[in-house]
A and B are shown apart, each in its own frame.
Chain A
């Protein structure tokens, strides 16, 4: 009983306490609750009334995303409106890296656990673990893509690291050259909300591959996209990569070809998935189209025959009257398709090793060899040293201190100017050049702008042409001019160095009987004929010059008679009178003496319309790389194609864009 009493007593005390009536201490809690409620109400009012704008902005930034896309570049056409460079869509699989953070963190923990489980003492540092985890997670997604399309692509760890550090907001490209079938499979197989998804972008399209690659140039990628009319600078923005001209016409006319970027603002769901349609869209605009003066048919013909020589070289053809460049070919070259959308290190290294990046037409400078004899003839006729009727005797050498050989000391005998040009007699020009002196020759060459860049619309034309004279030699080489210098200069050797393009301009100028032709790569229908200072030859002098040049293609000893007579499967160019001059220049290199084959020409003689300059670099020391043998087939191909096109019945008029 005692125990029971005690328990009752305890419980009774407890009951009395729990049923106690109103406790004044509770008032204290009323105040606390009231204060808390007031705080809440105040907070609510503060948040709703004062910070409405901030919350609206935060909500907008959370729910909206901005995507900027570059405008497609303008197309590039040839003079006949054939597409040289266009755009084509390219499909890629890209991975949104920023949403992978939790997955990468989990992977990092898992890798660390694995190291510990294996009791490996060489646990990587946290930084290394993170790198490993990133690659591992991204490779997992790539494996999924590989499984769907049957590829075996691997993640480039270095590229991934670079992307994480610089472009985290942008999707990482897993594969960027999907075939339509692969793209279709991925559309169906990849979950819509997967971080890996299919995208499309514009890339340059080159229907003719490597044709005119040095002229057209290539583009590189850029992140510099701005859209003026699209608000939301504060929104999370994804910028697709745009393009920028890096070389050639693409670079020179980048501002014209460049499209205007567009963009859109989308709502996204809590998982970040886009909700269509877009809230606001600014459509990108394509850049303006460009019509070049090139004729792709002529260009292809020139490149094909140049390629068949298996030597480096260049061929240029231009409209005599307007200066519009019809052909600007340079070999070796590169396939533009491999330069888009980006240039791989291997492609670049290969092009560099082959010398394919060097634009011989505008960057190369060579001694012009015997093709310089046309300028010598003009200089001689104008100075009176050479007359149409005058002759000189060629014993096979010219003595000036030492003996300067004609062709293998071959004696041409008594020669007038026309025959001297036809047979390319060195002694004739040694003698008359020596009589004229270096200053007269240099002045004539400068009159034809052979010492200056032509100013063609390409950004990296060489300035290394040399038209020497005594003053130049004294200033540059700190040496005195000697008679031998004049003799060598007379046959386009010695210090003379010109660019193939300037020789093409020279030929066009001679064809028009003027001193300067401004070359251009832009086609303009009904472009007016260029008009510059006349050369200043009398009709008899001009006839002697032109006859001599024509005899090069028609004479029995003509070095370019292949053009009129045909040879080795090349048909004669019947009905086309051609004036030409070949040349073979030598240059001393560490490997030995290399020959350069030259040919300059214009046609038709009676009404000149096309001018040509061809230069081919010999590649074997000691090998005879003659202009007649190597350069003539290239000229033949150009002129034959030109003639065929000219003889074609006229098609419907070409409609040019008026933009």
Chain B
């Protein structure tokens, strides 16, 4: 009879064994599983992104020829203005190089620009981030600044083989040192992403705002990167401070900053890859 009872306990024994094996799995295996998760899911993410691109392509194919002709004309106009901007840019670069040469200043080329397409957006109340379609294969490092036409997008937080995760500046976990545009003293202000509901316009919070800075919705103050933090170059737009009130310490103001609404729909970004990695 004891033999029969053992037979009946076999399922429990099996379950116990499975649990024990799981608990005793080597840490390396678990770490590997965690690390490889992104690599395993990356093809799916990229494939989905490409399918979306294809959908967009076919939806564009459905437009009438006259619409396409109109869009082509708009594009031609835009291209011509960009062409002009490129020429002006080239002239300015030459002038800057000449002045740097005259003043014997070091050349300001600290970054390489890596353009990347957004593969996935991951927004929640706790984090706001995007996945871009470039990773270690393009030499993107963790911590690299990411920008777009509206200013700062965020900072690379994870890098995988073919993808990278970028924490948006609307993410509460992102903090930067900014300065008020035009502040002659260049006093650093703390910027941090706010707690943003998924579909709400992105906002952030600012702290350590000097008491003489007055910002209201009617006369907002633009906040740009300070360049002091060693991560972002100076002068990139972070957003506009629309409210600044006396903080709880009585020494500074704290307030809200309105971020670029296009952050939620950004599809192309540029990663600033430092040319001298490891120098803070």
Residue numbers of A with Cβ under 8 A of B are 14, 67, 69, 71-72, 87, 89, 147-148, 180-181, 183-185, 187-193, 198, 200-202, 240, 259, 262-264, 273, 275-278, 281, 283-286
Least CB distance from A71 to B in Å reads 6
Task: List B contacts of A259 (CB < 8 A).
Answer: 250
Contact A188 B194 (CB under 8 A): no
Chain A, Cβ-Cβ closest to B256: A277
Give CA–CA (A490, B205) in the complex, Å.
75
Contact B174 A187 (CB under 8 A): no
Q: Per-position contact with A for B241-280: 1 when CB-CB < 8 Å, else 0? A: 0000010111110000000000000000000000000001
Give CA–CA (A183, B252) in the complex, Å.
15
Task: Indicate which residue in B186, B232, B251 contacts A72 across the interface (CB closer than 8 Å).
Answer: B251
How many of chain B's residues have a CB under 8 angstroms from any CB in A?
Answer: 29
Name 5 interchain pairs, CB-CB below 8 A, sorted by A: A180-B188, A183-B188, A202-B250, A262-B248, A278-B248
Task: List A contacts of B177 (CB < 8 A).
Answer: 183-185, 187-188
Task: List A contacts of B246 (CB < 8 A).
Answer: 283
Contact A202 B249 (CB under 8 A): yes
Residue of B230, B232, B250 with most chain A CB atoms under a 10 A cut-off: B250
Q: Count contacts between A and B, CB distance < 8 Å.
A: 91
Task: List B contacts of A184 (CB < 8 A).
Answer: 177, 188, 226, 228-229
Beyond A184-B188, A188-B229, A192-B173, whether A285 also contacts B280 by CB under 8 A is no
Contact A192 B188 (CB under 8 A): no
Beyond A184-B226, A188-B232, whether A148 also contacts B250 by CB under 8 A is no
Does B176 interact with chain A (Cβ within 8 Å)? yes
Closest 4 CB pairs of A and B: A188-B229, A184-B228, A184-B177, A184-B188
Least CB distance from A267 to B in Å reads 10
Task: Indicate which residue in A187, A202, A263 contacts B229 across the interface (CB closer than 8 Å).
Answer: A187
Contact A185 B280 (CB under 8 A): yes
Contact A284 B195 (CB under 8 A): no
Beyond A148-B280, A188-B176, whether A180 also contacts B250 by CB under 8 A is no
Task: List A contacts of B188 (CB < 8 A).
Answer: 180-181, 183-184, 187
Does B172 interact with chain A (Cβ within 8 Å)? yes
Contact A283 B229 (CB under 8 A): no
Does B101 interact with chain A (Cβ within 8 Å)? no
Give CA–CA (A191, B192) in the complex, Å.
11
Task: List B contacts of A181 (CB < 8 A).
Answer: 188, 228
Residue of A67, A188, A262, A285 with most chain B CB atoms under a 10 A cut-off: A188
Task: List A contacts of B280 (CB < 8 A).
Answer: 147-148, 185, 189
Least CB distance from A502 to B in Å reads 41
Least CB distance from B126 to A in Å reads 8
Contact A193 B173 (CB under 8 A): yes
Contact B250 A276 (CB under 8 A): no
Give CA–CA (A191, B176) in the complex, Å.
11
Contact A187 B248 (CB under 8 A): no
Task: List A contacts of B89 (CB < 8 A).
Answer: none
Give CA–CA (A67, B248) in the complex, Å.
9
Task: List B contacts of A71 (CB < 8 A).
Answer: 250
Beyond A183-B188, A187-B188, whether A263 also contacts B248 by CB under 8 A is yes
Contact A283 B230 (CB under 8 A): no
Beyond A72-B250, A264-B248, A278-B248, whether A192 also contacts B190 by CB under 8 A is no
Give CA–CA (A202, B174) in the complex, Å.
26
Q: Which residues 166-218 of B have a CB within 8 angstroms of A?
A: 172-177, 186-188, 190, 192, 194-195, 205, 208
Given A72-B250, A185-B280, A284-B248; 14 other pairs, CB 8 A cutoff: A69-B250, A87-B251, A147-B280, A180-B186, A184-B229, A187-B229, A189-B230, A189-B231, A192-B173, A192-B192, A200-B251, A259-B250, A264-B248, A277-B205
